Amino acid sequence: MGSHASEIAAFMDDLKAKNPGEHEFHQAVHEVAESIIPFMDTKPIYRDLKIFERMCEPDRTIIFRVCWQADDGTVHVNRGFRVQVNNAIGPYKGGCRFHPTVNLSVLKFLGFEQQLKNSLTGLPMGGAKGGSDFDPKGKSNAEVMRFCQAFMSELFRHIGPDVDVPAGDIGVGAKEIGYMFGQYKRLTNKFEGVLTGKGLEYGGSLIRTEATGYGAVYFMENMLAVQGLDFEGKTVVVSGSGNVAIHAAEKACQMGAKVVTLSDSGGFIHDPAGMTEEKINWVKTLKKNNGRISEYTKEFSGSTFHEKKRPWSVPCDYALPCATQNEISGEEAKALIANGVKAVSEGANMPTVDAGVKAFLAAGVLFGPAKAANAGGVAVSGMEMSQNSARVSWTDKELRNLLKTTMSTIHQTCHQFGAGHGVNGTVDYVRGANIGGFVKVADAMLAFGVM
Ligand code: NDP
Ligand code: 2IT
């Protein structure tokens, strides 16, 4: 990489000048540039035709006002976004996030990664991301419904089953998807597969809810198998307690691991005895009722709550960050390494800061980057799109098998481009995922000529 340092620096200077202040976007692009810029030597036409520059400039960015009324009659104004990054290999596809930290930088980083992630799934999906700075916390159901309807009242004209298919992300689950689908149907008079993560009654797919968390565990299982390791009896630390975290914890438990932590923005719980299916089901109900993870300690004795702390100081064999971006700092990565962590699989998007990723790679930790490790969610979304187009519903067994096979195919792709590139000849899954995702999108773009 050394000989490419100045090309990467110049590329990043240009990107930063064009996108000032968008730190998360810079961070996501920089990580990929470190893999792709040297790789372009193997096929100079990518460089000559500015394929990577084009992937860093969204096809379009839609920003709109979302105005809604609270239960007490007050009027609120939020900002809505949809960043349509690239549709070279299929309709734009990616989730919507409702969280007060949402801004253009966050959605551009997520959309940028999504185009590569979706390519890795092998399914025909382009990349996009959307959302709003709306904070669902503390809102009534009626307020969430009015917000979702207001959001869709503008978004509907920019999406469609062959155009752009949004889904959930932080703050957007089955309830919000239901409200948005209903509003789309009312405005267009069309019942079509325009969103994924839908309820089973109206075109949703089995296993979509579980897919991201389960997939992150399957990805880790594949990485472990290369080194003859597994989950049996291993201690696992999980962050978050939302959709991804709960299902990652559930699958790790089913595979014989001892899951000892969960968290939310208030802090983390440590349960040294390990979680059972019963405890995880209790957390599912807690979260459905908008409860806080601190309540866990009142229900299960022997567990402790650590206010405003993240779980990375707890010794473990494996770590599954499943909450949000930049939740493992360089120092926290070093603490995990010092405590003997052997593998990390990113259920969340970009949960590890750059220094943390570098520390894991330098220490030879098996590190599954988000765009590969959490691709199970969007992969089953792709399967939901197929079922909707064919007007069929696949069985639970078929979908479970498809998810497992997809995660192992993604692992193989990462292995193909990453093997031998890590320390002491190990697999660099970051390089593997970046190049594995890039090639298909890049070759499709070449086929279309200059545009
Ligand atoms: P949820 O809204 O269901 O849960 C989010 C969890 O993360 C909550 O426990 C939340 O705590 C915590 N969290 C969110 N923001 C912060 C923050 N700034 N600081 C600390 N904790 C935070 O979202 P998901 O589980 O769906 O998403 C989690 C991650 O997984 C995200 O990075 C998302 O992009 C990624 N992902 C999701 C997919 C999906 O299919 N849902 C697919 C692929 C990736 P609190 O309740 O206190 O806010
Ligand atoms: O980050 C992600 O991959 C998601 N939030 C899921 C996207 C999708 O379209 O299912």
Residue 428 has pLDDT above 80, yes or no: yes
Whose Cα sits closest to atom 11 in ligand 1?
Answer: 264
Chain CA centroid to CA 146, Å: 26
Pairing of strands 164-167, 92-98: parallel
pLDDT reading at 432 higher than 90: yes
| One domain, residues 94 and 216 | no
Specify whether 177 is located in the same domain as 142.
yes
Alpha carbon nearest to ligand 1 atom 44, residue: 348
> What was the pLDDT predicted at 3?
81
The whole-angstrom separation of Cα 216 and Cα 410 is: 11
CB 153 within 8 A of CB 57: no
- For 121, 179, 375, 386, 435, the CA distances from 35, given in Å and listed in that order, are 19, 40, 19, 32, 7
Distance of CA 371 to the CA centre of its chain: 7
Catalytic sites, residue numbers: 129
Note whether 177 and 257 are same-domain residues: no
Is position 329 within any domain?
yes
Q: Is the CB of 324 under 6 A from ligand 1?
A: yes
Structural contact between residues 347 and 322, judged by C-beta atoms closer than 8 angstroms: yes
In terms of domains, do 172 and 227 share one? no
Question: Is the confidence at residue 1, as pLDDT, over 50?
Answer: no
Query: What are 332's two structure tokens?
Result: 């926290």
253: CATH = 3.40.50.720
Same domain? For 277 and 352 the reply is yes
Q: Are residues 266 and 348 in the same domain?
A: yes
Together in a domain, 112 and 245:
no
Structure confidence at residue 2 (pLDDT): 58
The answer to the question of residue 149 being in a domain is yes
Contact 90, 379 (CB under 8 A): no
Atom of ligand 2 minimally distant from the CA of 113: 1
For the chain, the domain total comes to 2
Strand partners for 261: 237, 270
Going by the DSSP 8-state scheme, the letter that residue 449 receives in this structure is -
Is position 27 within any domain? no
Residue carrying structure tokens 């050394």: 2
Torsion of CA 149, 152, 153, 157, to 10 degrees: -160
Rg (CA), the chain: 21
- The answer to whether residue 356 is domain-embedded is yes
* Statement: residue 263 has pLDDT above 90: yes
User: Taking 60 as the threshold, does the pLDDT of residue 268 lie above it?
Assistant: yes
Closest ligand 1 atom to residue 266 Cα is: 47
φ/ψ region of 212 (left if φ > 0, alpha if ψ in -120 to 50, else beta) reads: alpha
- Is residue 228 domain-shared with residue 161, that is, in the same domain? no
Where among 168, 194, 220 does a domain terminate? Answer: 194
**227 shares a domain with 163:** no
Domain check: are 216 and 261 in the same one?
yes
User: Are 222 and 332 part of one and the same domain?
Assistant: yes
Q: State pLDDT tens for residues 324-372.
A: 999 999 999 999 999 999 999 999 999 999 999 999 999 999 999 999 9
pTM of the model: 0.98
Ligand nearest the Cα of residue 117 is 2
| Average pLDDT of the segment spanning 93-120 | 99
Q: Which of 62, 110, 55 is nearest to 87 (CA)?
A: 55
Range of 144's domain? 60-194
For 212-243, the pLDDT digits (tens) are: 999 999 999 999 999 999 999 999 999 999 99
Of 349, 375, 359, 432, give the one whose Cα is nearest residue 24: 349
208, HSE (Cβ side, Cα atoms, 13 Å): 27
Q: How confident is the model at residue 117 (pLDDT cuts 50, 70, 90)?
A: very high
Share of residues in the chain with pLDDT > 70 (%):
100
Closest ligand 2 atom to residue 208 Cα is 10
pLDDT above 60: residue 266: yes
pLDDT digits (tens, 9 = 90+) for 176-210: 999 999 999 999 999 999 999 999 999 999 999 99
